[in-house]
Amino acid sequence: MDQPSTTSDRELSKEVIEDLKSKGYNQTQIAEMYGVTRQAVSWHLKTYGGKKSTRQLINDCWPWETSKGHDKAIPYRRLRDHGEYMATFGAGMNADKLDRLRVWWRKLEREAVVVEFDPNIPPTKGICAHGGFAYRQRDDSDGNLLIRVNEYTNLTDEGRKVWCRPPAGALETS
């Protein structure tokens, strides 16, 4: 990637951010170029109607109110990867992330389990040191979802499309 001439030539704006993103820069890199935080770049896009990033689209339909510590849990991380995959069909995802995701999808299928979030679930070694997540046996009421809907779940119409089983063929390596 060629570095833009100088950032002092241009003021940070939605148009500048979108131009740099189209050239392959991420929001963290753009923030560093302009001496601002990544959140400031996000704010510009949100405030001035910029195109949402894949992460922002997934955040909009994230089904739970999670807190610091939950983001270290394997189910949380794989669901984020799954959301990215469902939004992009894997375009732009690195091979390691795709491999980890496919292994996780196979585990869910092989063990016939879904992910449940409940802030009262205690820490479980190998799943979530902070607590909150568990794998539960798949039930008919889960339908095509990878997640268990309970009183802590806010499943939007868009979320119903994202948090479902991956499309046919997604489990195969390319």
Phi, psi of 67 (to 5 degrees): -130, 175
What local confidence, expressed as pLDDT, does residue 5 receive? 46
Give the 3-state secondary structure of residue 98: helix
What local confidence, expressed as pLDDT, does residue 133 receive? 96
Fold of 9-51: Arc Repressor Mutant, subunit A (1.10.10)
Each domain of the chain, given as residue ranges in start order, spans 9-51, 57-162
pLDDT at residue 171 greater than cutoff 90? no
**Mean pLDDT along residues 12-28:** 83
Average per-residue pLDDT in the chain?
A: 87
Vertex 120 angle, CA 126 and 106, to 5°: 40
What is the C-alpha separation between 139 and 152, in angstroms, rounded? 18
The string of pLDDT tens digits covering residues 57-79 is 788 889 999 988 899 999 999 99
This prediction has a pTM of 0.72
**Mean pLDDT along residues 20-24:** 81
Do the Cβ atoms of 36 and 12 come closer than 8 Å? yes
